[in-house]
């Protein structure tokens, strides 16, 4: 991650206020997909906060990650409705099939998994999204198929 | 997508409307209003519901299909987007309005159906199989033999006070909001009332917080208004981090201006010049539409400095959460806005005295606020007659789970759950039996079939150990295991506990583990391990009580609700799991027994090869058997048998 | 405003707004607490202090809940006791079961709670968090598995020391206390002052022990001379570890005990303090004459030095180049022993007993070694000395006081004063006065530099110099006066900084205490020593004078600068 790119983001926040911490981290993550030590340091210098505080805040919120995302980012709904319709099995299936759990990225950097709360479409659950494409009424088999498709598209 | 066009005539028309000088308006102006309102359209108008639910269901593809349909045939028609009517199971919804004719809504309009429907409609024919209904408007000629939308069972028992605009207007257009009466309450408030008087109105309406505690909103506002301060803040809590709720997202996506107006009134009433809307960053569409709404409102001078020469200033800022359920709790929310870890702190001092940046702050649930413009417009007396004595007004729910029609519903307080589940939701699909409902998300509780006549209001639910909480109603049928569901809640709370206080941090984990132990087979059966497990079961209730009694914030205090209420409501099911090691719903797989149907088994040996413990014996081409003592209930054989010969009981 | 409340059915008068806990304490009712730190805003995290208040649905935390008129409180009802007990059980269910091997065995708040609440059975059990033991730092060990997440260390680190190394990381039951980016303490901004250790209720934070090395060397000396020397503050604090009155001076017993343990020679480390004072006074005079690099920043506190290196590298030129008293003693001993007994430095095993884990860190700095051989081999804290004494089965109460070995057996009370805050400034001033005016002060006591204020200032005329002496403690206060120091027209000449509030008597390696009176007693003891001392000035310490004439020459001269001074450099650390 380049320093001056972070600087560019920081420039959007002309006031040195702690209130800006979370928005800044969100912007950085939006740009790069994850946070780094470099980012923690720069943001700390800018907001005049100790690095430990930045790190502490970043690790509190589940959306921040210090590991790069996979090329294909899988979002699996585990809202109550999807759960009742069998989403837990899907999470296990992803683990079985790709070896990744919530918040992890596969060794080859291809897939990462994020378990999210209700996606707002409970009627069509279980729901998942892969790189912003949505899939509804997922079953274990369907999941496998979808993942295979993406895998193939890479080969 | 239709956007605010910004041409001067339209601009002046809206300004005139807001100023209230409608008498000065000429015919051209009135015509324009009718057009924006949809009373008189000069070209066909097609409106597609565009919100998270419909996008997930495929609305983007439908949108493209409609556009290319129109382009290919060079049809002069307007293509608009609207919010959500709330009937999620029928998404994507498409409305068509031909000039002079009533507006018709179609359901489940996937891209491949577009040309069928449009072909028919443009030939003045309504394809019955896709239609949901038509909308009544005395200026329009109704379609024959087509029912009205508000007569559908889903809508019939609802009373739409705050959802009124949802699915009817374009969420991206401030003009549509204004011609439908928008921002009039706000202007009325700042012109005709003092802040104290607005607080009074709200207090007299009997409005209570919808965010969980049910605290009287007017009182809360007054406390803040009277607290000495340099500055005051309003925070709209649209966190909706409950994993089964989607109403707030839907409302923000469908009618963002209502929220902006509500916040504006509330800020005026408490003397705040800065307001925050807290919502999850996942709500991308909602964020975008809200930001757009705020910008548009500022464009008309409805926000900013010296609003409509009243001397009142207001700025609204979005604050996107970064993923923490506990940030729904007000003190944690404040910490999060301040850029800190979202951990609750002990109350008192309450935010109404020491809130954001140590200044008096009102934190209100988003739905609470949405009632405010209605109360200002129609008066507290009118409002108070809706609902029950102690709980006035309506309540919005999201119903989902094992139900025929899931979606967003608004009912008067005091309606029975039975009506919600059966009349509005259409009951459980596939003729299954209703087992119970979960009300209020992870903080709520479980109710049985017998409790269905419970009337929905704060007091009655509290008596049953539930809270209104987030307003999520999740329906369970006989194939839902209550322990499994409670376990899921526990897991969620365990992950979402902020970790500050011991009972919640450690307690949720232990309660989850105990439930895990009840619903799975032990990895090993040795004496001390079994004893530990047993002690856990014995102490579950005691533990739950202590967690409820001592936790710092509502998350921990209510974490025990699902357990305690489900133990009361479904004691038998617990006992079956514990003593008989059986899951009646067949969900807890490890408690099932597997055996092989001798008639169906072809002896392909697949299962025997896959079984991790070698519990399956048999020779090739002959029926196989499962040695129960060795079976660990993993279910791999069940999944791998191609002939359906493995049976689970 | 006076109000009436009812506690356990007794009517009681109390002050409105006071917390329930304070009122209970006043009335002699003891309530367990864990996350509470005196003088800090309550966080309400541990929930052990809950009580029952009539009319409330839930139990309320007494540490944060204000009293209101007519409250009816029950502090030990069945419901309350059960709740407290369950909370401790929950903590135990995620706690390693290795009390018997723990540093804090017998001195642990969690153990005490479990005992007080009569926990005799494991009702709740389950998975425990696994975490790596952080042994990276030479001074402090962090064992996250033993952490109860009370957050006390974090608050001390931020609000007293202001280094803010420690913070919570993660959330829920994955929360842990960690440094930025979860680095080892040694690679973090930690200055190893050890204040966090003092407040930690369990063994999650403790000093690193080097007992093995000591025992091995003592047991297997062959040809090695073992030397022990102790800092001045240890003399007034060790007593507490043996049930004696806080502030009791037991230097003679320490000498005796160390000899019993097996040290060949025992020295009073205040000797090093005297040399420190001599050097620093000369250095200050030099800078005053040249009018450069002022204010002179004191260099006796290794935590402060590390902070300058990492946070304010621009201030390095201002930092005094004199080594800390302990390191001076160390350097001198190795030098002295070599030249008198003709031993190579290698053959001396030097153990320093100090109040401070940062001294452990300091002792292994490369600046503190000559040709790769460290001046001090092992640093022990006061608490460790007590343990060592017990390990060797010595009954300190039965010992006869002895005196330290020559030549380092005499010290002035100026050297001793350095143990408490303001003392360094006072001592330096005394010698500076002599150097500048040629006479000793008649009344060498400066009340303005003493006391608990965080920043103290003293202006006075010394010869032709108008001097502004200041004293800063704890470390966080430095931040406030930083702009003043950096300012061109800064009018301070000398800045004494002590990282720990109150100075070395309250160092991170001192005995644990719960009442603030203990700290006052320790400080008073130091001042009493000075009051009664025959030699109040470092330069009047005959041993020191002889030593200079025999070995070092002039203070701040060629030889002493080689042995007693050093240079510090910037550190690149994630702050
Ligand atoms: C764990 C927890 C989560 C909460 N989540 C929300 C939420 O998502 N939305 C909300 O409006 N209130 C939530 N609340 C309630 C708020 O703390 C607060 O009571 C509410 O916003 C007050 O608004 P009201 O007076 O309008 O109800 C939550 C409370 C707790 C303890
Ligand atoms: S109850 Fe849970 S979420 Fe609330 S403060 Fe305690 S640990 Fe945090
Ligand atoms: S390390 Fe000690 S002081 Fe710090 S949080 Fe853990 S138990 Fe508390
Ligand atoms: S629960 Fe998955 S979309 Fe709502
Ligand atoms: S001492 Fe009161 S909550 Fe910890």
Q: What are the DSSP calls for A53-118, one per residue?
A: HHHHHHHHSTT--SSPPPSEEEEEE--HHHHHTTHHHHHHHHHHHH---TT-B-TTSSEEEEEES-
Nearest residue to B402 (alpha-carbon basis) of B433, B424, B423: B433
Q: What proportion of chain C, given as a percentage, has pLDDT over 90?
A: 90
What is the per-residue burial (b if ≥16 Cβ within 10 Å, else e) of B318-334? bbbbbbbbbbbbbbbbb
Write the residue in A26, A85, A120 that is nearest to B52 by C-beta.
Answer: A120
Grouping H, G, I as helix, E, B as strand and the rest as coil, residue C535 is coil
* Phi then psi dihedrals of residue B313, to 5 deg: -115, 145
Cα–Cα distance, C575 to C1 (Å, whole number):
46
Least confidently predicted of B69-73, B531-535, B542-546, C571-575: B531-535
* pLDDT value of residue C189: 96
Q: What share of chain B is helix, strand, coil (3-state, %, to 5)?
A: 45, 15, 40
Residues of A in contact with C180 (CB under 8 A): 40, 50-52, 54-55
Cα–Cα distance, A33 to A65 (Å, whole number):
8
Identify the bridge partners of residue A111 per DSSP, sorted by sequence position: A72
Q: What CA–CA distances, in Å, run from C175 to A68, C34, C169? A: 22, 17, 5
pLDDT of residue C529 exceeding 90, the answer is: yes
* Phi then psi dihedrals of residue C51, to 5 deg: -135, 165
For C303, counting Cβ atoms within 10 Å of its Cβ (0-12 exposed, 13-18 middle, 19+ buried), the class is buried
HSE (CB half, 13 Å, CA atoms) of A23?
21
Cα–Cα distance, B106 to B59 (Å, whole number):
13
User: Could you give the domains of chain C?
Assistant: 2-76 (3.10.20.740), 91-207 (3.30.70.20), 213-564 (3.40.50.1780)
Cα–Cα distance, A6 to A39 (Å, whole number):
7
Nearest residue to C146 (alpha-carbon basis) of C68, C74, C201: C201
pLDDT of residue A1 exceeding 70, the answer is: no
* Phi then psi dihedrals of residue B372, to 5 deg: -65, -50
Q: How far apart are the first and last CA of chain A?
A: 28
ipTM of the complex: 0.93
Nearest residue to C229 (alpha-carbon basis) of C371, C357, C325: C325
Specify whether the CB–CB gap between B336 and B321 falls below 8 A: yes
Put simply, the chain A residues between 48 and 87 with a CB less than 8 A from any chain B CB are 56-57, 60-64, 78-81, 83-85
Other Cβ atoms closer than 10 A to C336 = 18
Grouping H, G, I as helix, E, B as strand and the rest as coil, residue B395 is strand
Cα–Cα distance, B251 to B160 (Å, whole number):
12
In the block, residue with structure tokens 């009325």: B188
Q: What CA–CA distances, in Å, run from C75 to C61, C71, C82? A: 11, 12, 12
Least confidently predicted of B3-7, B154-158, C549-553: B3-7
Q: What proportion of chain B, given as a percentage, has pLDDT over 70?
A: 98
Q: How far is the CA of A118 from the centre of ligand 4 (A)?
A: 4
Cis, bond preceding B89 (omega within 30 deg of 0): no
Residues of A in contact with C166 (CB under 8 A): 52
Q: What CA–CA distances, in Å, run from B431 to B127, B426, B427, B475, B573? A: 28, 11, 9, 14, 22
Specify whether the CB–CB gap between A117 and B243 falls below 8 A: yes
pLDDT of residue B22 exceeding 80, the answer is: no
* pLDDT value of residue B176: 93
pLDDT band at A87 (very low <50, low <70, confident <90, very high): confident
pLDDT of residue C341 exceeding 60, the answer is: no
Q: How far is the CA of C80 from the centre of ligand 5 (A)?
A: 14
- B328-344 confidence digits (pLDDT tens): 999 999 999 999 999 99
Where would I find the beta strands (DSSP E) of B239-305?
274-280
pLDDT of residue B526 exceeding 80, the answer is: no
pLDDT of residue B377 exceeding 70, the answer is: yes
DSSP labels, B523-549: S---HHHHHHHHHHHHHHHHHHHHHHH
Ligand number, closest to the Cα atom of C134: 3
Cα–Cα distance, C24 to C30 (Å, whole number):
7
Cα–Cα distance, C260 to C207 (Å, whole number):
24
User: Could you give the domains of chain B?
Assistant: 15-150 (3.40.30.10), 177-384 (3.40.50.11540), 394-480 (3.10.20.600), 483-579 (1.20.1440.230), 592-648 (3.30.70.20)
Specify whether the CB–CB gap between C105 and C111 falls below 8 A: yes
Cα–Cα distance, C208 to C205 (Å, whole number):
9
Q: How far is the CA of C100 from the centre of ligand 3 (A)?
A: 19
Nearest residue to B96 (alpha-carbon basis) of B72, B130, B64, B73: B130
- A90-141 confidence digits (pLDDT tens): 998 898 889 898 888 888 889 999 888 777 777 777 899 998 888 988 988 8
Cα–Cα distance, B172 to B2 (Å, whole number):
8
What's the mean pLDDT when you consider all of chain C? Answer: 94
* pLDDT value of residue C392: 95
For CA atoms B329, B331, B333, B336, the dihedral sign is: negative
Specify whether the CB–CB gap between B226 and B348 falls below 8 A: no
* pLDDT value of residue B5: 45
Average pLDDT over residues C85-96: 97
Tokens coding B264: 């504006």
DSSP labels, B133-180: EE---TTSBPPTT--BGGGSHHHHT---SSSTTTTTS-TT-HHHHHHT
Average pLDDT over residues C512-527: 94
What's the mean pLDDT when you consider all of chain B? Answer: 90
Helix H or strand E segment including C350 = strand C348-354
Is this structure's pTM higher than 0.90? yes
Nearest residue to B313 (alpha-carbon basis) of B295, B299, B298: B298
pLDDT of residue A69 exceeding 50, the answer is: yes
Other Cβ atoms closer than 10 A to B348 = 12
Q: Is the CB–ligand 1 distance for residue B445 below 6 Å? A: no
* pLDDT value of residue A116: 84
* pLDDT value of residue C339: 59
Write the residue in B249, B472, B498 that is nearest to A80 by C-beta.
Answer: B472
pLDDT of residue C271 exceeding 80, the answer is: yes
* pLDDT value of residue B6: 44
Specify whether the CB–CB gap between C219 and C212 falls below 8 A: no
Q: Do B341 and A60 touch (CB under 8 A)?
A: yes
* pLDDT value of residue B272: 97
Q: How far is the CA of C68 from the centre of ligand 5 (A)?
A: 19
Q: Do B474 and A78 touch (CB under 8 A)?
A: no
* pLDDT value of residue B1: 32
- B447-456 confidence digits (pLDDT tens): 898 889 989 8
Identify the bridge partners of residue C229 per DSSP, sorted by sequence position: C267, C352
In the block, residue with structure tokens 């001033």: C429
Identify the bridge partners of residue B362 per DSSP, sorted by sequence position: B234
pLDDT band at C450 (very low <50, low <70, confident <90, very high): very high
Cα–Cα distance, C270 to A126 (Å, whole number):
74
Question: What's the gap in Å between the CA of C106 and the closest CA on chain B?
Answer: 23
Write the residue in B55, B243, B325 that is nearest to A79 by C-beta.
Answer: B243
Task: Spell out the long-range contacts of B512-517 with Cβ–Cβ below 8 A and sequence spacing 24 or more.
Answer: B512/B487, B513/C126, B513/C127, B514/B539, B514/B540, B514/B543, B515/B483, B515/B486, B515/B487, B515/B490, B515/B540, B515/B563, B516/B487
For CA atoms A140, A141, A145, A146, the dihedral sign is: negative
Q: What proportion of chain B, given as a percentage, has pLDDT over 90?
A: 61
HSE (CB half, 13 Å, CA atoms) of B562?
29
Q: Is the CB–ligand 5 distance for residue C313 below 6 Å? A: no
Average pLDDT over residues B6-25: 75
Number of residues written out for chain B: 649
For B25, counting Cβ atoms within 10 Å of its Cβ (0-12 exposed, 13-18 middle, 19+ buried), the class is middle
pLDDT of residue B204 exceeding 50, the answer is: yes
Nearest residue to C246 (alpha-carbon basis) of C382, C418, C49: C382
For C173, counting Cβ atoms within 10 Å of its Cβ (0-12 exposed, 13-18 middle, 19+ buried), the class is buried
Nearest residue to C381 (alpha-carbon basis) of C352, C407, C404, C361: C352
Write the residue in A60, A117, A119 that is nearest to B52 by C-beta.
Answer: A119
User: Could you give the domains of chain A?
Assistant: 2-60 (1.10.10), 72-153 (3.40.30.10)
Region label for B5, one of left (φ > 0), alpha (ψ between -120 and 50) or beta (otherwise): alpha
Tokens coding C439: 């006479």
Identify the bridge partners of residue C269 per DSSP, sorted by sequence position: none
* pLDDT value of residue A2: 63
Identify the bridge partners of residue B82 per DSSP, sorted by sequence position: B49
Q: Do B91 and A88 touch (CB under 8 A)?
A: no
Pairing state of beta strands C140-142 and C167-169? unpaired
Grouping H, G, I as helix, E, B as strand and the rest as coil, residue C473 is coil
Cα–Cα distance, B612 to B634 (Å, whole number):
9
Ligand 1 atom closest to the CA of B237, numbered from 1: 11
Cα–Cα distance, C288 to C228 (Å, whole number):
37
């Amino acid at each position: 991650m380049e320093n001056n790119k972070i600087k560019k983001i920081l420039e959007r926040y002309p006031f040195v206020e702690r209130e800006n911490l979370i928005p800044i981290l969100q912007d950085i993550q939006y740009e790069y997909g994850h946070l780094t030590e470099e980012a923690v340091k720069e943001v700390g210098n800018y907001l005049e906060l100790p690095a430990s505080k930045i790190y502490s805040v970043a690790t509190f919120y589940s959306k921040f990650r210090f590991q790069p995302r996979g090329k294909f980012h899988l979002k699996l709904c585990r809202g109550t409705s999807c759960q009742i319709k069998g989403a837990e099995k899907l999470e296990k299936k992803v683990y079985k099939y790709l070896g990744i759990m919530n918040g992890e990225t596969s060794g080859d950097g291809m897939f990462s998994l994020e378990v999210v709360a209700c996606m707002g479409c409970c009627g069509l659950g279980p729901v998942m999204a892969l790189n912003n494409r949505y899939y509804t009424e997922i079953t274990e088999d369907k999941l496998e198929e979808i993942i295979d498709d993406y895998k193939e598209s890479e080969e | 997508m239709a956007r605010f066009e910004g041409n001067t005539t339209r601009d002046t028309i809206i300004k005139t409307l807001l100023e209230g000088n409608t008498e000065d308006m000429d015919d051209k102006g009135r015509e324009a209003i009718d057009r924006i309102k949809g009373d008189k359209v000069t070209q066909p108008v097609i409106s597609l519901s565009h919100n998270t639910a419909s996008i997930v269901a495929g609305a983007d593809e439908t949108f493209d299909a409609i556009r290319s349909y129109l382009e290919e045939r060079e049809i002069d028609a307007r293509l608009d987007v609207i919010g959500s009517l709330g009937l999620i199971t029928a998404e994507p919804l498409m409305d068509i309005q031909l000039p002079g004719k009533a507006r018709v809504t179609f359901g489940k309009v996937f891209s491949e159906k577009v040309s069928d429907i449009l072909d028919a409609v443009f030939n003045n024919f309504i394809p019955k199989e896709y239609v949901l209904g038509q909308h009544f408007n005395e200026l329009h000629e109704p379609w024959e033999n087509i029912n009205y939308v508000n007569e559908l069972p889903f809508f019939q028992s609802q009373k739409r006070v705050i959802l009124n605009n949802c699915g009817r207007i374009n969420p991206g257009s401030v003009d549509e909001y204004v011609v439908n009466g928008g921002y009039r309450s706000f202007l009325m408030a700042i012109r005709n009332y003092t802040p104290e008087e607005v607080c009074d109105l709200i207090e007299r309406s009997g409005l209570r917080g919808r965010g969980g505690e049910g605290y009287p909103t007017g009182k809360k506002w007054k406390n803040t208004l009277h607290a000495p301060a340099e500055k005051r803040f309003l925070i709209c809590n649209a966190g909706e981090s409950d994993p089964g709720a989607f109403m707030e997202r839907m409302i923000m996506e469908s009618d963002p201006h209502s929220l902006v107006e509500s916040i504006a009134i509330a800020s005026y009433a408490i003397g705040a010049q800065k307001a925050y809307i807290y919502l999850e960053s996942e709500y991308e569409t909602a964020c975008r539409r809200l930001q757009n709404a705020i910008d548009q409102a500022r464009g008309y001078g409805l926000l900013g400095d010296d609003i409509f020469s009243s001397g009142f200033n207001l700025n609204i800022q979005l604050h996107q959460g970064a993923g923490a359920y506990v940030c729904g709790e007000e003190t944690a929310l404040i910490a999060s806005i301040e850029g800190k870890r979202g951990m609750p702190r002990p109350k008192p001092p309450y935010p109404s005295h020491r809130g954001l940046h140590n200044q008096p702050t009102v934190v209100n649930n988003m739905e609470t606020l949405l009632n405010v413009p209605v109360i200002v417009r129609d008066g507290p007396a009118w409002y108070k007659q809706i609902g029950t004595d102690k709980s006035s007004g309506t309540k919005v729910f999201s119903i989902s789970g094992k139900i025929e029609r899931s979606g967003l519903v608004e009912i008067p307080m005091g309606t029975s759950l039975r009506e919600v589940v059966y009349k509005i939701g259409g009951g459980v699909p596939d003729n299954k039996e209703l087992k119970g409902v979960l009300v209020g998300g992870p903080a709520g509780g479980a109710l049985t079939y017998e409790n269905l006549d419970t009337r929905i209001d704060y007091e009655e639910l509290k008596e049953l150990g539930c809270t209104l909480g987030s307003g999520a109603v999740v329906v369970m049928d006989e194939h839902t295991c209550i322990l499994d569901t409670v376990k899921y809640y526990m897991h969620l709370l365990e992950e979402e506990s902020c970790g500050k206080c011991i009972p919640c941090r450690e307690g949720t984990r232990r309660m989850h583990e105990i439930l895990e132990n009840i619903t799975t087979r032990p990895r090993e059966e040795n004496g001390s391990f079994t004893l530990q497990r047993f002690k856990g079961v014995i102490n579950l209730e005691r533990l739950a009580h202590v967690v409820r009694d001592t936790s710092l914030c509502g998350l921990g205090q209510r974490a025990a609700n699902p357990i305690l209420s489900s133990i009361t409501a479904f004691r038998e099911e617990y006992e079956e799991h514990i003593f008989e090691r059986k899951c009646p719903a067949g969900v807890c797989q490890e408690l099932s027994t597997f055996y092989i149907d001798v008639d169906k088994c072809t002896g392909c040996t697949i299962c025997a090869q896959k079984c991790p413990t070698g519990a399956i014996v048999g020779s090739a081409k002959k029926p196989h058997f499962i040695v129960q003592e060795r079976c660990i209930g993993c279910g791999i054989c069940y999944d791998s048998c191609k002939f359906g010969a493995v049976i689970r009981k | 405003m006076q109000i009436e409340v009812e506690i356990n059915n007794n009517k009681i008068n109390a002050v409105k707004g006071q917390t329930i806990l304070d009122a209970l304490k006043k009335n002699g009712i003891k309530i367990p607490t864990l996350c509470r730190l005196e003088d800090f805003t309550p966080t309400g995290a541990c929930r052990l202090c809950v009580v029952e208040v009539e009319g409330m649905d839930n139990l309320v935390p007494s540490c944060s809940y204000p009293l209101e008129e007519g409250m009816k409180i029950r502090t030990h009802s069945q419901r309350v006791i059960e709740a407290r007990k369950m909370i401790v059980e929950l903590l135990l269910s995620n706690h390693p079961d290795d009390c018997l091997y723990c540093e804090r065995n017998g001195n642990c708040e969690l153990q005490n709670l479990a005992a007080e609440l009569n926990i005799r059975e494991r009702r709740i059990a389950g998975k425990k968090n696994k975490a790596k033991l952080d042994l990276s730092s030479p001074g402090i060990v962090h064992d996250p598995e033993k952490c109860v997440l009370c957050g006390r260390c974090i608050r001390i680190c931020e609000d007293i020391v202001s280094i803010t190394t420690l913070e919570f990381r993660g959330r829920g039951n994955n929360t842990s206390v960690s440094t930025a980016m979860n680095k080892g303490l040694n690679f973090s901004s930690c200055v190893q002052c050890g204040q966090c250790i003092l407040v930690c209720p369990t063994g999650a934070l403790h000093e690193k022990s080097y007992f093995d090395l000591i025992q091995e060397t003592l047991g297997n000396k062959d040809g090695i001379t073992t030397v022990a020397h102790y800092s001045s503050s240890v003399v007034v604090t060790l007593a507490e570890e043996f049930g004696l009155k806080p502030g009791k001076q037991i230097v003679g017993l320490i000498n005796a005990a160390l000899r019993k343990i097996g040290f060949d020679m025992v020295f009073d480390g205040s000797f090093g303090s005297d040399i420190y004072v001599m050097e620093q006074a000369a250095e200050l005079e030099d800078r005053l004459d040249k009018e450069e690099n002022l204010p002179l920043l004191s260099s006796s506190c290794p935590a402060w030095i590390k902070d300058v290196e990492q946070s304010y590298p621009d201030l390095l030129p201002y930092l005094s180049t004199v080594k800390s008293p302990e390191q001076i003693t160390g350097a001198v001993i190795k030098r002295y022993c070599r030249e008198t007994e003709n031993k190579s430095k290698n053959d001396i095993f030097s153990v320093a007993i100090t109040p401070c884990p940062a001294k452990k860190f300091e002792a292994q700095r490369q600046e503190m070694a000559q040709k790769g051989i460290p001046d001090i081999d092992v640093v022990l804290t006061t608490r460790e000395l007590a343990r060592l004494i017990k390990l060797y089965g010595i009954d300190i109460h039965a010992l006869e006081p002895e005196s330290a070995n020559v030549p380092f057996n005499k010290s002035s009370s100026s050297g001793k004063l350095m143990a408490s805050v303001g003392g360094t400034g006072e001592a330096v001033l005394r010698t500076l006065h002599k150097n500048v005016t040629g006479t000793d002060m008649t009344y060498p006591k400066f009340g303005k530099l003493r006391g608990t204020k965080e920043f103290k200032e003293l202006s006075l005329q010394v010869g032709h110099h108008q001097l502004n002496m200041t004293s800063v403690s704890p470390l966080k206060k430095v931040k406030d006066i930083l702009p003043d120091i950096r300012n061109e027209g800064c009018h301070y000449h000398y800045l004494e900084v002590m990282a720990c509030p109150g100075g070395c008597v309250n160092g991170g390696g001192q005995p644990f205490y719960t009442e603030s009176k203990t700290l006052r007693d320790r400080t008073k003891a130091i001042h009493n020593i000075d009051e009664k001392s025959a030699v109040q000035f470092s330069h009047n310490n005959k041993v020191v004078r002889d030593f200079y004439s025999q070995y070092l020459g002039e203070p701040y001269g060629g030889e002493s600068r080689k042995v007693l001074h050093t240079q510090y450099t910037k550190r690149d650390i994630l702050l």
